């Protein structure tokens, strides 16, 4: 089997370090790019099995999203009973929790896989490995993380965390879980912060 190649499209330094650390631990070839132009050049090379894209950088009307969507459709699973090779490429979109309400429905409508940030390390690696299986890059999904000493059963409700010893995009299963009310309050605060930043930028432009 050829070497597994994973392309990360993200300009957040903390996210970059966290992703590269966990993916490198599996011996996979990882490259990080910070913008659409570099991402498109890498995708054109055909050297990658999976692209992990932070939606903060993905313009849903831009060329990067269009290419990722096209690749997903081109490599869609064969119909039942049809003989066709497995996918050669898959993509995974990362959604910061503050933008989930706007972005999540768009990706679900297009049938594209995503994960919310933060999420548990084990869940993330399992999701990545399942997509690599679909791409034909590995034989079976990973259910535990040896390099990080995580051997606990998978639990699907562990997406959010107030405290974590991992980088901030990874939540611990033992951490406090947000209720729906707390999640709504968190999103409200994020929206207020966004409006403050926009107002500050406009005020600065007027000077």
Q: How does the average pLDDT of the chain come out, rounded?
A: 76
Res. 35 pLDDT band, cuts 50 70 90:
confident
Same domain flag for 106 and 202: no
Same domain flag for 170 and 182: no
Average pLDDT for 154-161: 34
Same domain flag for 156 and 187: no
Give the chain's domain count.
2
Whole-number percent of the chain with pLDDT over 90: 34
Tokens of 97: 């929790």
Same domain flag for 24 and 96: yes
Contact 181, 32 (CB under 8 A): no
Confidence check: pLDDT of 127 > 60 = yes
Measured in whole angstroms, the distance separating CA 143 from the mean position of its chain's CA atoms is 18
Tokens 């050297």 identify what position? 47
Q: How far is 173 from 121, CA to CA, in rounded Å?
A: 9
Same domain flag for 185 and 97: no
Expressed as residue numbers, the domain containing 147 is 5-176
Least confident of 40-49, 56-65, 119-128, 192-201: 192-201
Q: What is the pTM of this model?
A: 0.67
Question: pLDDT of 56-96, one tens digit each?
Answer: 888 888 999 999 988 877 655 444 554 444 458 999 999 98
């Amino acid at each position: 089997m050829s070497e597994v190649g994973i392309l990360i499209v993200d300009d957040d330094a903390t996210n970059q370090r966290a992703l590269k650390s966990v993916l490198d631990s599996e011996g996979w070839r990882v490259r990080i790019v910070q913008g659409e132009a570099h991402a498109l050049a890498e995708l054109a090379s055909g050297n990658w099995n999976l692209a992990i894209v932070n939606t903060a950088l993905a313009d849903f009307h831009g060329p990067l999203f269009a290419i990722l969507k096209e690749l997903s459709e081109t490599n869609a699973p064969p119909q039942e009973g049809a003989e066709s090779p497995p996918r050669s490429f898959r993509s995974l979109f990362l959604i910061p929790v503050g933008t989930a309400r706007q972005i999540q429905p768009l990706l679900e409508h297009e049938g594209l896989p995503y994960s919310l940030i933060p999420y548990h390390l084990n869940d993330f690696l399992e999701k990545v490995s399942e997509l690599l299986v679909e791409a034909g890059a590995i034989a079976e999904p990973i259910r535990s993380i040896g390099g990080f000493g995580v051997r606990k059963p998978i639990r699907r409700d562990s997406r959010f965390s107030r405290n974590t010893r991992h980088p901030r995009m990874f939540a611990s299963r033992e951490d406090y879980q947000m209720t729906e009310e707390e999640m709504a309050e968190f999103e409200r605060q994020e929206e207020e912060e966004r409006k403050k930043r926009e107002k500050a930028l406009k005020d600065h432009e007027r000077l």
